[in-house]
Amino acid sequence: MGWAAEEFKDLDLGDARRTRRLIKLVDDLSAQPTGSIPVACGGWAETKAAYRLLDNPATDWREILEVHTQQTIKRMQGQPVVLCVQDTTEADFTSQPGIAGLGRLSYDAQHGMFAHPTLAMTPSGLVLGATDCWMWARKPKGQPDIKESIRWVEGYTIVADLAETVPGSRLVYITDREGDIRAVM
């Protein structure tokens, strides 16, 4: 059994074929982590199947992350110190107009989305997995939008709650300077 099959053995996407497809896609993407989906999948049929899977309403990224998070927590067990590192990544899709659901990025002429994961790792740099991810797209200027700084507070709360599930480990919450806000302190 490959690592992706082991990681997602408890995942139920409502159809065994969807779950198998997800496991294959994760294997393909992990074999070529810097490649696009078409490059990682290696063929048109596999690429089309991957896009159908990702576009399927039964495929909810939160459910997939939750199964991965449970496996991450198992890997955290017994680690004396776990660093819980948060930072925001900007996914820029400016060169691909027409993708629905994207918003403005750092500059108004750019469009894309943001991902703000919490990665659990050992002090020696061994990544144990993700425990959380906050994803969003900004609305156009002038429209009411979420207060983005809340992601740091929610991230801290999730790490604090996780500390109760791994009592033998010291969880250290790490942010960049943007996370240095009064609400977190």
Residue 137 near residue 113 (C-beta atoms within 8 A): yes
- Look at the block and give the residue holding tokens 């009064």: 182
Stated as kind and residue range, the H or E segment containing 118 is strand 111-121
Q: What is the mean pLDDT of the chain?
A: 91
Distance from C-alpha of 139 to C-alpha of 106, rounded to nearest angstrom: 12
Task: Supply the pLDDT for residue 123.
Answer: 97
pLDDT digits over 28-87, tens only?
999 999 989 999 998 999 999 999 999 999 899 999 999 999 999 999 999 999 999 999
Closest C-alpha among 63, 79, 103, 54 to residue 172: 79
Mean pLDDT of the region 167-179: 88
Q: What is the pLDDT of residue 1?
A: 64
Closest CA to 138 of 95, 102, 94, 110: 102
26, pLDDT greater than 90: yes
